[in-house]
Structure 1
Amino acid sequence: MAESSDLLAGVLRRIALSSRFAYKRDVLCVFFLFSYNRALAICLRLAGSIERLAMHQSTSTHANESVARTLAHAVEVSGKPRHQIARDVGMHRETLLRVLRGERPIGLDEAARILTACGAFPRATIVLALAGQEDLACEWMRSEMGEFLEEFFSALPAHLERTLGRRVEDVRPRWANGTSQLVARMLAKHIDDFVGRDIGMSLGR
Structure 2
Amino acid sequence: MNNQIAEPPAIEDVLARTLARAIENSGRPKRDIASETGFHKDALLRVIRGTRSVTVDEALRLFAAAGVPARGTLFLALAGKEELAANWMHHEMGEFWDELVASMPGTLNDALQDKLNEVRPRWAVGTSKLVARLVSEHIDDIASRDLSLALGR
Answer whether TM exceeds 0.5 for this pair.
yes
Structure 1 unaligned runs (5+)?
Answer: 1-57
Structure 2 unaligned runs (5+)?
Answer: 1-6
State, as a whole percentage, how many aligned pairs show the same letter.
48
Give the Cα–Cα distance (whole angstroms) in 1 for the partners of residues 53 and 41 of structure 2. 16
Match of residue 152 from structure 1 = 100
> For residue 142 of structure 2, what is the amino acid of its counterpart?
F
Match of residue 190 from structure 1 = 138
Give the Cα–Cα distance (whole angstroms) in 2 for the partners of residues 167 and 196 of structure 1. 36
Give the structure with the larger helix fraction. 1
Give the Cα–Cα distance (whole angstroms) in 2 for the partners of residues 107 and 127 of structure 1. 14
Match of residue 3 from structure 2 = none
Give the Cα–Cα distance (whole angstroms) in 2 for the partners of residues 128 and 176 of structure 1. 16
Match of residue 33 from structure 2 = 85
Match of residue 200 from structure 1 = 148
Match of residue 162 from structure 1 = 110
Q: Which structure 1 residue ranges, 4+ long, deviate > 2 Å from structure 2?
A: none
Deviation at 1:63, TM superposition (A): 1.5
Give the Cα–Cα distance (whole angstroms) in 1 for the partners of residues 151 and 18 of structure 2. 44
Deviation at 1:101, TM superposition (A): 1.4
Count matched residues.
Answer: 147
Deviation at 1:68, TM superposition (A): 0.7
Q: Which structure has more RCO (C-alpha within 8 Å, separation ≥ 6)?
A: 2
Deviation at 1:95, TM superposition (A): 1.3
Deviation at 1:102, TM superposition (A): 1.5
Deviations, residues 28-75 of structure 1 (Å, cap 9, x unaligned):
xxxxxxxxxxxxxxxxxxxxxxxxxxxxxx76x611111110100111
> For residue 133 of structure 2, what is the amino acid of its counterpart?
R
Match of residue 71 from structure 1 = 19
Corresponding residue SS for 1:190: helix
Deviations, residues 159-193 of structure 1 (Å, cap 9, x unaligned):
11111012112211111111111001001101111
Of the three residues 175, 180, 186, the one matched with 2:123 is 175
Would you say 1:131 and 2:64 are equivalent positions? no
Alpha-carbon RMSD: 1.4
Structure 2 length-normalised TM: 0.90
**For residues 49-68 of structure 1, what are the structure 2 equivalents within 5 Å?**
62-68=10-16
> For residue 96 of structure 2, what is the amino acid of its counterpart?
F
> For residue 74 of structure 1, what is the amino acid of its counterpart?
A
Give the Cα–Cα distance (whole angstroms) in 2 for the partners of residues 198 and 65 of structure 1. 44
